[in-house]
Structure 1
């Protein structure tokens, strides 16, 4: 049995165990993800499958690779990322990629250093994404692709002030 024969069920409807891997590969293709981010997306879809108590089969791996090629029944999909766009890569292996998500839905790609706890954007500005359309590439997309998400709360404020009187009593 060919792995493509598993793309539909007996009634001719899309088989979700095939479709989820295929669509993850398609998403990697249309946004032009580099190999490290493709690996990250593949690990995420496998982890989701295993979290449901299911084993990842070789035909599902092939479905992902088929999607990654951009092929579908009628030809090849077009890329959605702008011509010449390159996904940023960390300056060295010590930096981790993170997506900062704001209450209005805005997403900013950044790198964070786990030891110094510094963000790349502090000295260099945020990294450019292929689109600013949150309907196409919002928090949901980054989560599906396995990115680390940090939910931002810009309305929070930190103040340095004299200590307040204690509100607890000795018992």
Structure 2
């Protein structure tokens, strides 16, 4: 999500991909009962086209060490299925120091490792709030918070509203 891309689009592929993105966006803005199905179909076409382009790609972008560390850090976060770890624990998994991890992430993304982790946690919390009927307390425990109040405070600091208020949004 925050790392640099691993592939470059050629000048020949760029217009096609951009056109698909533009078409998806225009379709999304329409007030039509079939727009969801049409957008879904265009997204499938887009993904297949990108798969074709990436499959034919000959020019891989070589990541610098700090970019590679950042990408690996994000992969570790995405693998979490329950409680998130501390920055120090992620650094330990990457066999580097927490300070070096933070420096690499900051250099690659412009934000701190803690902020990246917080963003992923918030994204997961929002998904759980929107896609499940679990209580806020259940979600808090599922995400590894010791107390629901800590989760509520975390969510409010990151989103500006409580989880319950977020869930009520249209």
TM-score interval (norm. to shorter): under 0.3
TM-score by length of 1: 0.28
User: Counting strand residues as a fraction of each chain, which structure ranks higher?
Assistant: 1
- Greater C-alpha radius of gyration: 1
Higher relative contact order (CA 8 A, sep 6+): 1
Q: Name the structure where helix makes up a greater proportion of residues.
A: 2
